[in-house]
Structure 1
């Protein structure tokens, strides 16, 4: 007797997978009961960012019955997040088996999506997830769940209006939006922006770009390209330049040697995800500071993508001090007294966390409580960049430097990379994002319920729907027992 051990999701097409997903959601009574009292003209939640974090945050909230939500993204549909914008790696670093934003639904995982189209054999042969394919999956995720992302809409300013927040926006049908809660699901640069070192700020823009910029790599054909840094973004941009015909690419690396061990990957677990936020400040700082100091290495495949070119070079111990214009080129000067002449410079210097860089807050950004305001590390554990991370409440909300000065910050949630120093890797990276979304949804639902407590109490008092109609029983008389008589 022939058996078929093929999984039901194998190569039967996305229509079959989506039907399975809908049935699973129906079994779980999704979406949850809408219990938040409506306020005319007011959203319960606005989520800035329609990429992975924004969509799974929406799923978490709607699962819990918070349904009056708007999701805004400044990018065109299908281009949310970094994947087809400034991300230039060939594959994701994360293992293909991670469930990512699936929020506990097997039919919503990347694996289910891939196997529904290509089957188990192709899945088992795949090593890493190609970056453009991850974006295809996220597009399907949005379609399968009908996530109501409003594209081409930017939030320009956030300010209080009574108990609400008023958002000034561009690209929407209205000029402003009123909401009770605001979520920044804005990714890697969500609480800051690209890290632009001081040594390059005065250099004309035609000579340099940050790895997060839109770069004309075709224009680098035959050119001498200096790439400052050796992290993931640095090597991916170096590879792009080489593959577009750059004459030579030289990595200019401050460190004495190549980082090779991803320390955070070595301790990743549900325990770390759940327990990090409960640790004392000194331990949270210690974990993050050590990760910063040792540096996450570039992926194996990305590094080989560069080194296989004979005109690619890695120079260690080259701390850049200044860069000067030299006609149609620039000269890069290093701390060791040497220099290098290049035609173009790419900064692979990552992102900085700095709430002051977020124009949405205006001057209030300077009133957000930061780690440097709260914690002084012991000698040897100093880290200025880490000190600029926001010091968040356990529910992802911002805190004020001076209590009572900007209380409305407690209505704004930091569900992006900026939360990692306070709450761990649960709001930006693939491994823990579903756990983070569940945490965010529970915290926000609790706050919304407490804010409407009197309304919910009155609803309980007013509830008059009987479960019994009187036909379920028959009253009878109880005859009292006489003295000394056993009943």
Structure 2
């Protein structure tokens, strides 16, 4: 679908921004700041909350926290300005998988919605005809959304560690060559799908091939180098299909998409559990049920987006190879030989859609946290036939995305919240997705507010006793007039 912006786009979007801000003001945004000052810390020296990650989750959480009266919310992101999230980097699909009506970061304010943004930019008819939101438009909308809430993102900032500093959290980061330490009352990790580990390729491939012969699909790929080459892809998800399309569009001679399963998944189980009840109350399910749901998703997975599948299947040179696991990969006289149960395939380059390895130690921001947080493998023992080593390595989070300490003397970890792939078992496979924001972000925000309120519980009564806001205006001679009235009444 080809869409073109209507005329005067900058002006009309600016009008929409002003309308959205007027709506927010009418609803009391932002709430007055309510946190008690910290003794021994000058004003402005400690952030209320530091959010690590400025993508779709990071900006939505920042907006929610500001709405609830947290005035100093700082957002850090490792990417250059304008490149936050995957949308302009390794996300290569034409449109989002999420149905256009299930986006939920607008807080029930129509003028904040992607629908109103899209209609303003392209016209009412364009939205009506739109099957799903284009990827690049989603990123443009997120940038506009952050602007409405005045969310400033500190870019090119790589977080090196998150640790305790007395009763606070210290975030150590590297920004343009300078190391900085930022104190915060709480920290939110909005670090996306790889927030619990790292993108990695299987060792039998990386050990046997020159690094220049393969790429992980969730990283940079120089598709121009693939012109005229035979490309082998491993994986069956959206990333595999999207990268096959990009390779063939760049002139690759062929793209063989290989995967272990006998057939592609046909249904998307995410849609089955994206109900208000499941979305809002998921952490209240038993450990056994949450574990079994995670296991179900691991066994069944989801199909690639329909548009990606149909586009790939229609391209000359594309071959779908189900039931084709790779057993061995070697370099033989310039050709990459891939041994499969059905024989040997030869390629010139590999694109590996092999996902993320769960490895908390691979994340720099978890350097101190990794050994101090409880894991699912430590808190729940599944039946023998229902074990899963990958899931067992994920953090066991509390009901509000907070880390749970492994030992009581590390209670500080409860002021760090994991709104990323680390929440897969604890909060469900849907909560940090676009369609989950409507229900999950308010829970995360409540958790942060709860933690900060409990941290300052000892200040509540003294502050209450000092409270001196006069609701009833009185004249200087009020007491004398009362006395006069009392005398007259007695007579």
Q: TM-score, normalised by structure 2?
A: 0.91
Distance (Å, rounded) in 1 between the aligned partners of 2:64 and 2:430? 13
Point out where structure 2 has 5 or more consecutive residues left out of the alignment.
1-8
Q: Is the 8 A contact 1:223 1:344 kept in 2?
A: yes
Q: Which residue of 2 aligns with 1:122?
A: 126
Does 1:443 pair with 2:442?
no
The answer to whether the 8 A contact 1:417-1:427 is kept is no
Q: What does the per-residue CA deviation read over 1:222-251, in whole Å, with 9 as the maximum and x for residues that have no partner?
A: 111110011111111111111111111111
Matched, 1:385 2:384: no
Q: Secondary structure of the residue that 1:59 maps to in structure 2? A: helix
Q: Secondary structure of 1:394's partner?
A: coil
Cα distance in 2, alignment partners of residues 109 and 347 from structure 1: 35
Residue 219 of structure 1 corresponds to 225
**Counterpart for residue 85 of structure 1:** 89
Could you say what secondary structure the match of 1:66 adopts? coil
Which of these residues, 324, 338, 343, is aligned with residue 338 of structure 1? Answer: 343
Cα deviation digits, residues 353-396 of structure 1 (max 9, x gap): 32122122225413432212222222443333222221101121
Instruction: State the 4+ residue runs in structure 1 displaced beyond 6 angstroms.
Output: 477-480
2:418 is matched with which residue: 409, 414, 417? 414
Q: Which residue of 2 aligns with 1:231?
A: 237
Aligned equivalent of 1:64? 68
Partner of 1:189 in structure 2? 194
Q: Residue in 1 aligned with 2:377?
A: 372
Tell me if the contact between 1:222 and 1:247 (Cα under 8 Å) persists in the aligned partners.
yes
Whether contact under 8 Å (1:11, 1:118) holds in the other structure is no
Aligned CA distance change for structure 1 residues 141 and 11 (closer, same or farther; 3 Å): closer
Question: Contact 1:389–1:419 at 8 Å: present in 2 too?
Answer: yes
In 2, the alpha carbon distance for the partners of 1:14 and 1:194 equals: 37
Report 1:134-145 matches (<5 A): 134-145=138-149
* 1:398-409 superposed matches below 5 A: 398-401=403-406, 403-409=407-413
Alignment check: 8 A CA contact 1:273 1:425 kept: no
| 1:282 equivalent among 288, 291, 294 | 288
- CA drift of 1:143 comes to 1.7
Whether contact under 8 Å (1:56, 1:434) holds in the other structure is no
Match of 1:37 in 2: 36
- Is the Cα contact below 8 Å between 1:390 and 1:419 reproduced in 2? yes
The alignment of Structure 1 onto Structure 2 pairs a total of residues equal to 469
Deviates more, 1:189-198 or 1:11-20: 11-20
Are the structure 2 counterparts of residues 477 and 421 from structure 1 closer, same or farther at C-alpha, using a change threshold of 3 Å? farther
Quick check: 184-193 or 164-173, which moved more?
Answer: 164-173
Aligned to 2:157, which of 153, 164, 167?
153
SS in 2 for 1:111: helix
Residues of 2 paired with 1:366 and 1:337: CA distance? 44
Deviates more, 1:224-233 or 1:166-175: 166-175
TM-score (norm 1): 0.91
Q: Do the aligned residues in 2 keep the contact of 1:110 with 1:137 (CA within 8 Å)?
A: yes
Q: Which residue is 1:291 aligned to? A: 297
Question: In the aligned structure 2, how far is the partner of 1:331 from the partner of 1:217?
Answer: 21
Question: Contact (CA 8 Å) 1:54, 1:71: kept in 2 or not?
Answer: yes
Determine if contact 1:426/1:434 at 8 Å carries over to the other structure.
no
1:103 aligns with 2:107: yes
Q: 1:38 to 1:327 in 2, by over 3 A?
A: farther
User: In structure 2, what is the Cα distance between the partners aligned to 1:433 and 1:126?
Assistant: 22
Q: Assess if the C-alpha contact under 8 Å between 1:56 and 1:103 holds in 2.
A: no
Instruction: Give the SS at the match of 1:35.
Output: coil
Unmatched runs of 5 consecutive residues or more in structure 1: 1-9, 481-487
Change (3 A) 1:132 1:171: same
Q: Which moved more, 1:253-262 or 1:96-105?
A: 96-105
CA contact (8 A) 2:59 2:151 kept: yes
1:29 is paired with a residue whose SS is coil
Hey, what's the Cα distance between the residues in 2 that align with 1:208 and 1:162?
46
SS of equivalent residue, structure 1 residue 291: helix
1:280-324 deviation line (CA, Å, top 9, x unaligned): 011111112111211111011101111111311111111222211
**Partners in 2 of 1:466 and 1:222 — Cα distance?**
79
Alignment partner, residue 305 of structure 1? 311
Aligned 8 A contact 1:37 1:452 in 2: yes
User: Aligned-pair distance for 1:208?
Assistant: 0.8
- 1:321-360 matches, within 5 Å, as 321-334=327-340, 336=341, 338-360=343-365
Q: Distance in 1 between matches of 2:430 and 2:295?
A: 17
Residues 436-473 of structure 1 deviation map (CA, whole Å, 9 limit, x = unaligned): 22111111112211211222321111122332345689
